[in-house]
Amino acid sequence: MLRRSLEWIALRSLTAKARSAELAAAAALSVAAATSARGGRAPILAAVIATDEPDARIYMERLFKGASAAGMGVRTVQLSATASEAEIAGALATLSADDDVAGIILQSPLPAGVDRDQVAASIAPEKDVDGLTAANAARLDAGDTSGALPATAAAVMELLRAHNITIAGRRAVVVGRSAIVGRPVAQLLRLAGASVEVVHTGTPDMGAVTREAEILVVAAGVRGLVRGEHVARGAVVIDVGIHAVGEQIYGDVDAESVAAALGPDGALSPVPGGVGPLTNAILVLQAARAAERRAGA
Ligand code: NAD
């Protein structure tokens, strides 16, 4: 039913497949150079996981599949879902000191009471392939995008660029202001020349702001939060949300009503198949580049 209505509207679907394949090819080249400079030893992408959530495991399996395809080794440090800050920080510090490890990922969610910023301080900044450390966040805040970027935020920008969507001079709205998605997306859009407004749980009338958006990025963590009545005709909407319900994956955007409201001149990123796969491709690429730098290749 949804597929039929989207086809009828002929809305542009901002898929990630082509760009993800290009990034995967670039990652493979970097890993090959690093491996050769290390005398044939593949660099490793490592993840610290302190949750039992099945979604986190599935996510990590997908990411590691991409890393393996690029030629990297992978390593998981599985901690309990009640691990302490000290245990998590210790695991991150051990990986930071391991010469074979080129990139480190700290999987969400973290156990209750664990402060992400506090433990992220134990990740060596040059191995911080998801832009989590204070050093990398401060660099982005200062307008420098040369370091590792928070991968999901970078994926949003890649998706816009891959589909030749003009950013400079346009009105952009970001729903959500988390440290890992909303805030860095807003900063990257600003740096790309958009005028950006951020909507969050304290915003009294979300729709009044989102209807003004020419580019709308939704990263609220609430399934189907943004509906047709919240968007302007012809806008570009990027759905960052991921909600697994059985075999299905849904976004933060109600795709059917939003597609109908956007009309044929609008564009919408699909879930699945949009920001998610591109985030993985960027993480692998950032890990591959870190490996190449580290190996002096
Ligand atoms: P979060 O819970 O840390 O932050 C959510 C933000 O949205 C907050 O700033 C909050 O103020 C805002 N928000 C929540 N409800 C709102 C409402 N009703 N109205 C306005 N603002 C509201 O979440 P997060 O980690 O930023 O993740 C956001 C979504 O993106 C989740 O669905 C998550 O699963 C998904 N995600 C996807 C990827 C990917 O690779 N595609 C990566 C990370 C997160």
pLDDT digits over 127-150, tens only? 999 998 999 999 999 999 988 899
Q: Give me the CATH topology for the region 38-126.
A: Rossmann fold (3.40.50)
CATH number of 151-275: 3.40.50.720
Give the Cα separation of 183 and 227 in Å (integer). 22
> So where are the chain's domains?
38-126, 151-275
Residue 81's SS3 state is coil
Residue 170's SS3 state is coil
The stretches of the chain forming alpha helices (DSSP H) are 2-9, 17-37, 54-69, 85-97, 116-120, 134-141, 151-162, 182-191, 206-210, 255-262, 275-295
Residue 7 CA, distance from chain mean position? 27
> Counting atoms of ligand 1 from 1, which one is nearest the CA of 200?
21
**Residue ranges lining ligand 1, Cβ < 6 Å:** 152, 175-178, 180-182, 199-201, 203, 206, 219-222, 225, 240-242, 252, 275-276, 279
pLDDT tens sequence across 165-174: 999 999 999 9
Which residue's CA lies nearest to atom 4 of ligand 1?
178
Residue 267: name the closest of 225, 229, 288, 238 by CA.
238
Evaluate whether 35 touches 42 at the Cβ level (below 8 Å).
yes
Q: Say whether 151-275 and 38-126 share the same fold.
A: yes
> Counting atoms of ligand 1 from 1, which one is nearest the CA of 220?
7
pLDDT band at 10 (very low <50, low <70, confident <90, very high): low
pLDDT band at 244 (very low <50, low <70, confident <90, very high): confident
CA of 281 to the centre of ligand 1 (A): 20
Stated pTM of the model: 0.94
